[in-house]
Chain A
Amino acid sequence: MEKKLSEMNYEEEGRVGSIKQDLKNKVAGMGIRVGKNLKMITKHPLRGPIVVEVDGAHTSLALSIADRIIVEVKK
């Protein structure tokens, strides 16, 4: 099932399906690229930032950035 990274739940895992073009390079530097597996570590309330795990490393990103990344969620 596909959803936005910002809509993933705690502990959910998925595979990056697509990233908005203008964002691609910015998040690539943090290890987030199409085809990478990631896991949601935490989401903060009040539209706060999220923390994801990619290749064993943690990255925090604003929800509005996560809105523009589509993830294929594993069932």
Chain B
Amino acid sequence: MKKILLMGNPNVGKSVFFNRLTGANVIESNYPGTTVDYTKGYMKGDSEDFEIIDVPGTFSLEAKDKAEEVAVKMLEEEKGALVICVIDASKIERGLYLCLEIIERGYSVVMALNMWDVAEDKNVQIDIEKLKNILNIPVVPTVAISGKGFKEVVLSIKKAASVGVKEIMERVGETK
């Protein structure tokens, strides 16, 4: 069964994603560090089923506390897994950092720009098409608490492939 890791900074909505995708019940709260251990769950797809893993939030792959260690270890153990990188769209830069680190390690990534509603409130505008083109991975705006964008995230799983960071750097240079 294909494995999917939910990774991202703390408090970006990974656990909401997990509960919605798998029907499980892990604790969701509005503070960083709610999830400190991983949880596995299952999701039925159209053609295949997936095992989904909710992982503690982390800022980078150099763990600075034990919860982050769990996340980094999980990623290292699941070499063949696909990663849904959940990002708080209103704080996209720090999310990109972790996402790039994961991409550099060769994982296939789908990027969920979650908290799209919060980003709109804060007037943070993101050009999705441009971002997609630069990264060459699926990028989907989502609002996890209402389920907006989830269908597209699930559909994008098929399209995710590993990309090179060198190519990303080249494409940034070419983009206007």
Contacts and interface: CB of A to CB of B under 8 A. Distances in A.
A57 interface: yes
Contacts of A31: 91, 93-94
A46 B165 CA distance: 46
Contacts, number: 23
A contact patch SS: loop
A25 interface: yes
Contacts of B122: 56
Interface residues of B, number: 12
Given A28-B97, A29-B97, A56 B90 contact: yes
A29 to B, nearest CB: 4
Interface string B100-139: 0000000000000000000000101000000000000000
B59 interface: yes
A57 B97 CA distance: 17
Interface of B: 9, 59-60, 62, 64, 90-91, 93-94, 97, 122, 124
Interface of A: 25-26, 28-31, 55-57
